Amino acid sequence: MKKIVFLLSTIVLPLIVTTANAKGGCEDHDAPFIGINTNMDKCCIVANDVNGDKYYRMGDAKTTLANNKNFVIASCKATINAWEDIEFEPGRTNVDICHIGVKGEGRFDGQGGFTIDSEDSVINGNCKFAR
């Protein structure tokens, strides 16, 4: 009986946790925010444009990961869609809490930021978690 309960808990609990983590999306975060999924090469950026309107971009990105005993550092580079005519304040935007998704290790909450280059339609961001 104990083996059955243990077996069920090892199957059901991860499903519940996965479902809970999957709820909501990039658009549900408050600006500013950055989330980097290094496993799927995706990046979520939430920012306010110069008018104060919320903008979010979730999609494919070039991601990098540095993972050692002291830090987990991820970065992403993504493009803004050409048809989006949005203007952002120049310079870096710092975020208090950012997320890094690492295959086999889960999610890390760190600090980071991003820079949006409206002229080149590029977003560069990073997130650092200190162990």
Residue 114: CB atoms within 10 Å: 26
Predicted pLDDT of residue 3: 52
- Which positions ≥6 away from 89 have C-beta within 8 Å? 50
Range of the domain at 14: 2-130
Whether 63 contacts 34, CB under 8 Å:
no
Segments of the chain with pLDDT less than 70: 1-24, 82-83
- Which positions ≥6 away from 48 have C-beta within 8 Å? 31, 32, 54, 55
The domain tally of the chain equals 1
d(CA 74, CA 65): 4
Q: What is the pLDDT of residues 36-68, one digit of tens each?
A: 999 999 999 999 999 999 999 999 999 999 999
